[in-house]
Amino acid sequence: MKAFLSELRGAVLGTLVLALVTCGLYPLAVWAIAQAAFPDQANGSLIVDTDGTVRGSRLIGQGFTGAGYFHPRPSAAGAYGYDAANSGGSNLGPTSQKLHDALRDRVAAYRIENGLNEADRVPADAVTASGSGLDPHISPRNAALQASRVARHRGMSVEQVTALIQQHTTQPGFGVLGEPGVHVLELNLALDGKGRRMNDER
């Protein structure tokens, strides 16, 4: 019994002491270092307007539907997509009828939007939902296919838009890690800053 009580004391006090160290001191230490060394990243890499309004995070995608904007990937986050407080994927499997139908409709819509033929293949990232539903990137091929639409609706030349795409393309880390991606939110903000925004047909 005495041995049991002594071990019980170890368990109870051990829980409390370890909680204090690993859940109190440790996160506070990380917080202090992070806020001092990387305050921008530690607070969400926020994009702030000149008037102080937060317009989003550089890491988190937003939905765009206007013809003068680049469109991100479909999103399964939240009820209407790109809900940053409800991250997640569709979780639909390879034989799902629902996924099949959604892909069929998105392929058709993508072809119409971007003036492609029935025979033209559509990049997979343009019609599939990401795992987080907040993917900020699209593939370079997807961006290139959207360039002429965006240029037309903004009264810009395709070369101007293509140059902007390149500016906002992230290359693989150290040339090898991961895949290249075009940052949709930053690209669209750059477009808004550069060209006038034409009517969005909405």
Partner 1 sequence: MNASGWLQLALYVGALALVTQPLGRYLCQVLDARGRTGLDPVLKPLERLTYRIMGVTPEREHDWKQYAAALLLFSLVSCVFTYALLRLQHLLPLNPQGLGPVSGHLAFNTAVSFTTNTNWQSYGGEGTMSQLSQMVALTLHHFTSAAVGIGVAAALVRGIARSSARTLGNFWCDLVRTTYYLLLPLCLVFAVFLVSQGMIQNFRPYTRARLVEPVRTLVEARNDRGEIVPDADGTPMMEERVVEEQVIIQGPMASQVAIKMLGTNGGGYANANAAHPFENPTPLSNFLQMLSIFAIGSGLTGYLGRMTGNPAHGWSVWAAMMVLFVAGVLLCWWGEARGNPMHQGLGIVADDGNLEGKEVRFGLFNSALFATITTAASCGAVNAMHDSFTALGGLVPLFNMELGEVLIGGVGAGLYGMLVFVILAVFIAGLMVGRTPEYLGKKIQAFEVRMAMLALLVLTLSILGFTAWAAVSPWGLAGLNNAGPHGLSEILYAYSSATANNGSAFGGLNANTPWYNVTLGLAMLLGRYLMILPILALAGSLVAKRSSPPGAGTFPVAGGTFVLLLLGTVLLLGALNFLPVLALGPVVEHFLNAQGQRF
Interacting positions 121-160 with partner 1 (CB under 8 A): 121-125, 127-139, 141
| Closer Cβ to partner 1, 159 or 164, answer by number | 164
Buried b (16+ CB within 10 A) or exposed e, 37-69: eeeeeeeeeeeeeeeeeeebbeebbbbbebbbb
Q: Does 2 help bind partner 1 (rule: CB under 8 A)?
A: no
Q: Does 161 help bind partner 1 (rule: CB under 8 A)?
A: no
> With the C-alpha atoms ordered 56, 136, 60, 32, is the resulting torsion angle positive or negative?
negative
In what helix (H) or strand (E) does residue 200 lie, and over which residues does it extend?
A: none
Q: Does 166 help bind partner 1 (rule: CB under 8 A)?
A: no
d(CA 155, CA 145): 17
Contact between residue 166 and residue 158 where contact means Cβ atoms under 8 Å apart: no
Among 1, 2, 50, 85, which residue sits at the site for partner 1 (rule: CB under 8 A)?
Answer: 85
Q: Does 112 help bind partner 1 (rule: CB under 8 A)?
A: no
Tell which residue, 149, 145, 141, 150, has the closest CA to residue 180: 141
| Contacts with partner 1, 52-81, as mask; x by CB under 8 A | -xxxxxxxxxxxxxx--x---x---x-xxx
| Closer Cβ to partner 1, 45 or 157, answer by number | 45
Among 2, 50, 112, 177, which residue sits at the site for partner 1 (rule: CB under 8 A)?
Answer: 177
Q: What is the closest distance, in whole angstroms, from the C-beta atom of residue 160 to partner 1 in the complex?
A: 20
